[in-house]
Amino acid sequence: MPTVSITSTGGPLTVAYTISTPRAASAKSIDRDLPTVVFLHPVWLSHPVFHHQFADPALRRFNLIGLDLRRHGDSVGNVKDTYSAVEAVDDVVKFMEALRLPPVHLVGVCMGALIALELATRWPQRIVSLCLLSTAGLQEPADVAKGREEIQEYWNVGFGAQPDESALLDCIYGALQLGMNNEASPFVKAITQITFKASTRQWFPPHLHAMEIATRKIMTDRPKGLEARLSQIACPVEILRCSADIAYPRELSEEIQTALRSAGVDARLHDVPGAVRWGHVTHYQVINPMIHDFVVECATEKNIPPPPPITSVLSPFLKVLTGAGFRPVNDDEDDDDDADSTDAGAEMVGKVVTFKATFNKALSVFSKKR
């Protein structure tokens, strides 16, 4: 996976990213005659979670770019105590500058939606369209904030003086419940394996405080004055509300749409029936066409070529996913042995090396509680 080094207001950061074009699953640069879509992932996860979008022939009419945000996935960089969505925005903008990207179509999910909305208010000239999937509302609801605090506390307790496997189980289960409503699948298990592997570098001791800042506080400690800045947005906004989202009621999506319209922004709200919070994973057959049509509607490029043949479209994430146990239907790719590799981060924390067994147990418990 390629990386690029930047320095933003958040400090130095080496960003792991992927570019896919109609002709290449993993490209070195974009096709400048086509629209460019940038995907911002949910909290805790990393950009391979957009496998179903990058493997979609219709969306691969465009340039697709995913990146790992600070203290997530394979990106490398510290977080300051003051890190918030504002610094995350500057990370993304500096990344766009480093790749010399034209104005882009921005798709954000959960935490990614929070950052995308903030970015559109501060850098309107860089955004052609804005798609917010499972947006977190203008303010974090108190009960959800409490739930995020509990997830963090379970993680911290799990890595206390006496490692607590039950606390780690509760942490993993709580995160999956928030994002997936207990819906297990081979893909979800693979993504969770990938997230665990990254956590050995990003969130194991002595990085517990960094995790809290980059995964909890960024959601609960929102930048002030967002509503007043909404009038700066210069592009259409599509809000996709996943109807089975257990944490954020529809009223919060309606609140954002009303605030955007009051600020003079073209804002549409669409429901995705039955979709969980991370609906791009479970309901991509519905959500992908919505993203595609919105990009086509807003694109400044004319005569966009038709989608490439289905047989020529491969996900750039197949290797890492199969290495974590995922087997796509009709996929002929060779299996990857990465799942058997040693996690150096686990070795550094003594008894916590047993957490990998705990993690596998957590997935088993998660599947049984569906």
Is the confidence at residue 339, as pLDDT, over 50? no
Going by C-alpha positions, the residue among 143, 110, 119 that lies closest to residue 240 is 110
Residue range 169-203, pLDDT digits in tens: 889 889 999 999 988 889 999 999 899 889 888 99
Left if phi > 0, otherwise alpha if psi is -120 to 50, otherwise beta: which for 18?
Answer: beta
**Pairwise CA distance, residues 76 & 84, whole Å:** 17
Buried b (16+ CB within 10 A) or exposed e, 120-141: bbbbbebbbbbbbbbbbbeebe
How far apart (Å, rounded) are the C-alpha atoms in residues 276 and 272? Answer: 9
* pLDDT at 357 (0 to 100): 54
Q: Domain segments of the chain: what residues?
A: 3-368
Residue 57 is given by DSSP the state T
Going by C-alpha positions, the residue among 278, 368, 284 that lies closest to residue 328 is 284
Predicted structure pTM score = 0.90
- For the ranges 59-73, 80-94, 198-212, 274-288, which has the lowest average pLDDT? 198-212
> What pLDDT shows up at residue 137?
84
pLDDT score for 328: 81
Rounded to the nearest angstrom, the gap between the alpha carbon of residue 107 and the centroid of all alpha carbons in its chain is 10
Query: If you compute the radius of gyration of the chain from its CA atoms, what whole number of angstroms results?
Result: 19
Q: What is the rounded average pLDDT of the residues 133-139? A: 91
- What per-residue confidence (pLDDT) applies to 347? 34
Q: What whole-number distance in Å separates Cα of residue 1 and Cα of residue 15? A: 10
- pLDDT at 308 (0 to 100): 87
Question: What phi and psi values does residue 94 have, to the nearest 5 degrees?
Answer: -65, -35
Provide, rounded to the nearest whole percent, the portion of the chain with pLDDT above 70: 89
pLDDT at res. 330 = 56
Q: Is 300 helix (H, G, I), strand (E, B) or coil?
A: coil
Asked if 174 and 314 touch (Cβ cutoff 8 Å), the reply is no
278-326 tens-digit pLDDT: 999 999 999 999 999 999 999 999 889 998 888 889 999 999 999 999 9
- Read off the pLDDT band of 364 (50, 70, 90): low
Strand partners, 19: 65
What phi and psi, each to the nearest 5 degrees, are found at residue 303? Answer: 55, 50
Architecture of domain 3-368: 3-Layer(aba) Sandwich (3.40)
Name residue, tokens 């089975």.
Answer: 244
